[in-house]
Amino acid sequence: MAIEPATIVRIYLSASVFIIAFAAFLGAAGAWTESTFLNTVHPYVFFIGFGNLAILILNRYLISAVYPELEVDPEKQMRYIYGVLFSLFLIFLAVYLKWPLLKAFVGLFLLFIVTIAAKEIFTTLSIAKIWHEVSVRYYIFDVLFLFVANLGLFALGVKEAFPESGIVPFFVTQSTYFLGSSFPLSISVMGFLYTYVWRRSSGKELIRNLFSIWSYIFVGGVLVFLIAILMGNYLGMMLVSHALMFGVLVLLIGFGRYLYRFFSTQFQHPALAFLLSGLAMLLAASAYGILNIYFFRWFGAVPPIAEERMWIYHSHTHAALLGWISFSFTGMIYIVVPAIVKSNSLDLLRSEKALSQILDTATLSRAFRQLTVALVSATSVLLAFYMESNSLLAFAGVVFGFAVYYSRINLGKAFKGR
């Protein structure tokens, strides 16, 4: 019996929120017990599990919603989910048993999966067609960044297995792998904001041109920033980071105005509130990132900044992961998942009704309460790093994990009987 689109998107929702919550619980347990294994493995769980699923499943929905000729095969998506879950099991073993070659195998295995997904896109859509649609331009870069991130995991495993060989470049470290892995979904959110928010507002041509320019600045800025880090160019890092933060600030203000008008004239959509919170957290991550650069020692230094200022480093990474990525993801699923479940296809997602009130009022109210808990707990995580309080960090991490997982519970109630 064929798997229906509504079924696979609900499975994806369950798997993704479980992985984020599980990573949060592992991080909380690591803070409480000061376990090196737990502190090491939880970012791998987040990046490998959530990052790959986000691009293989959610990102594919977004591209196919723009170009219907790129069909979605639910059975193949189910195999992708099995593959990513299997990779999580293997990375757990690799970190626990300290088998770097198994880590390299996980990277190679995920490379194979992503290559299959990327091949389908590029054999169906021409480069010109991809580049013509601004939102797809953002989405496709996330696919390419995921490919590079998995290649980095493979290279990291090889380097850890043969540290003296010199086969793998010096810049391949655990930190650079995590940095590279943080981009998948980050860029897609920009495309999502354009497709489902600003493109539907007045002044469409101006908005299209601005987001087209921003795609070059955002993606190009990320690439230039990585090169500046490798070169240890302090001025370059500062200039790029300030330019990106200014762009994020403009987006945050513009989106805040859009959200106010939308809430005033239509209805209070929690997805938009989650996306606004994500942008606010991205601004915080940008500010912490600039402080990181200010206190930066040199590339490859352990720790990367002075020990007494490592709270800045951890705040930067967690503002990005718990805030920008997780909040944005939650906002996206409150739009994408109900649209697919209701129509059992991508038709509603392609229509002008994607932002209509698909969910009932009770579900929307519970989502706002969920957002409140998630915001308080994520802010508490950042405060815990500053206060160097492992107990607060552990408690806030657990609460945040439950807040993210609540998406499945809340939407499950809404879909009951469907």
Q: Band the pLDDT of 59: cuts 50, 70, 90.
A: very high
Scored b (16 or more CB within 10 A) or e, 297-325 reads: eeeeeeebbeeeebbbbbbbbbbbbbbbb
Model pLDDT, residue 168: 79
Q: Of 77, 289, 66, 290, nearest to 188 (Cα)?
A: 66
Q: Band the pLDDT of 207: cuts 50, 70, 90.
A: confident
Average confidence (pLDDT) over 271-297? 87
Asked if residue 301 has pLDDT above 60, the reply is no
Average confidence (pLDDT) over 321-346? 90
Q: Is the dihedral of CA 396, 19, 47, 56 positive or negative?
A: negative
Q: Band the pLDDT of 202: cuts 50, 70, 90.
A: low
Asked if residue 180 has pLDDT above 90, the reply is no
Model pLDDT, residue 203: 62
* CATH, domain range 5-415: 1.20.210.10
When mean pLDDT is compared across 135-144, 193-202, 284-293, the lowest value belongs to 193-202
HSE (CB half, 13 Å, CA atoms) of 220? 8
Average confidence (pLDDT) over 388-401? 95
Model pLDDT, residue 164: 80
Model pLDDT, residue 176: 73
Amino acid at 143: V
Q: Band the pLDDT of 306: cuts 50, 70, 90.
A: confident
Alpha carbons 107 and 272: distance in angstroms, whole number: 34
Average confidence (pLDDT) over 264-270? 85
Residues 6+ apart with CB under 8 A from 373: 399, 402, 403, 406
Q: Quick: pLDDT tens for 71-105.
A: 999 999 999 999 999 999 999 999 999 999 999 99
Average confidence (pLDDT) over 283-305? 76
Model pLDDT, residue 400: 96
Entry pTM: 0.91
Q: Is the dihedral of CA 175, 38, 78, 326 positive or negative?
A: negative
CA–centroid distance for 347 within its chain: 25
Model pLDDT, residue 20: 94
Domain map of the chain by residue range? 5-415
Alpha carbons 287 and 312: distance in angstroms, whole number: 10
Model pLDDT, residue 302: 61
Question: Is the omega angle on the peptide bond into residue 338 within 30 degrees of 0, that is, cis?
Answer: no
